[in-house]
């Protein structure tokens, strides 16, 4: 296998892993539990009770590290699938928004 092929395979595996996790938390097809958005690229795992950034730091990275971690830990409770927009809305409502962003709204 040449380099391009193995990069391609790696990417496919990453997408596969992501959709597996999403499917587990939201059903088939994977979708945002708030608005129903189902384009995989827009979806992400949300920590229901917040504190996501801290957790991701603790397990040593974001994105695909989190997906592997969830799989390895047998899909623990406390996570849900949200699209980027709903993540943002939720963060806004929970006041998890960083002070800099808040300032921009004022
Ligand atoms: Zn959504």
Closest CA to 76 of 21, 37, 34: 21
Question: For the chain, how many structural domains are there in total?
Answer: 1
Domain that holds residue 21: 3-105
Residue 85 CA to ligand 1 centre (angstroms): 6
Is-above-0.75 flag for pTM? yes
pLDDT category at 62 given cuts 50, 70, 90 is low
Whole-number pLDDT of residue 56: 86
Does 101 have pLDDT greater than 70? no
Cβ neighbours around 52 below 10 Å, total? 19
Q: Give the integer Cα–Cα distance in Å for 49 and 85.
A: 17
pLDDT above 90 for 95: no
Specify whether the CB–CB gap between 97 and 89 falls below 8 A. Answer: no
What is the 8-class DSSP label of residue 83?
E
CA 61 / ligand 1 centre spacing (Å): 23
Rounded to an integer, what distance in angstroms lies between the CA atom of residue 44 and that of residue 81?
6
- What is the 87 CA–ligand 1 centroid distance (Å)? 7
């Amino acid at each position: 296998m040449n380099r391009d092929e193995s990069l391609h395979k790696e990417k496919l595996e990453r997408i596969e892993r992501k959709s597996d996790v999403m499917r587990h938390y939201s059903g088939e097809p994977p979708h945002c539990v708030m608005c129903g958005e189902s384009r995989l690229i827009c979806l992400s795992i949300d920590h229901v009770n917040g504190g996501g950034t801290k957790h991701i730091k603790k397990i040593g990275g974001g994105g695909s590290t989190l997906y592997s971690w969830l799989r390895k830990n047998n899909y623990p409770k406390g996570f849900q699938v949200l699209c980027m927009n709903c993540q943002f809305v939720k963060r806004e409502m929970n006041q998890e928004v960083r002070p800099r962003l808040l300032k921009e709204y004022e």
